[in-house]
A = this chain, B = another copy of it.
Amino acid sequence: MPVFEPPYYAAVFTSVRTPGDNGYGVTADRMSELVREIPGFLGEDFAASESGLRITVAYFRHEEGLREWAGNGEHREAQRRGRAEWYESYSLHVAKVERSHGFERGE
C-alpha cells in the first residue's frame, strides 16, 4: 500500500474473470515478475472480492514506463489471451496522480 511523491502514474485495472484457470495463474505470476523490470515501476496493489471483482493498481514514476509496459511483447501476448480466454470483462483507467497521502496507525 505504497504512496509516492506526485506526480506519478497509476494504471487502474478492474476485471471479472471467466471460470477456470486456463493458464491464467502462471501468466499472472510471470507478469508480476516482468513488470518489476520496467524502468520507473514503483509498485502495485491488488484486491479481489469473492463476488468476483478484481482491482489491480500499478504505479509508475513516468508515463514512459507505463507505455513501455503496455507495449511489452510478453505483456501484449498476455493481453491477447486475456481477451480470448481469461476475462469476462475489464476496464483500464490510466491516470496521472496529482496528490496522495498515507496513514499508518501509531505514526
Seen from chain A, the residues whose Cβ lies within 8 Å of a Cβ on chain B are 1-3, 10, 12, 14-16, 18, 45-50, 53-55, 57, 59, 83, 87-105
A34 vs B44: C-alpha distance when bound (angstroms):
29
Q: Which B residues are CB-close (under 8 A) to A15?
A: 1
Q: Which B residues are CB-close (under 8 A) to A92?
A: 3, 99-102
Contact B89 A1 (CB under 8 A): yes
Task: Using CB atoms, name the residue of chain B closest to A100.
Answer: B93
Q: Say whether, besides A87-B103, A87-B105, A93 and B3 are in contact (CB < 8 Å).
A: yes
Q: Which B residues are CB-close (under 8 A) to A103?
A: 83, 87, 89-91
Contact A90 B12 (CB under 8 A): no
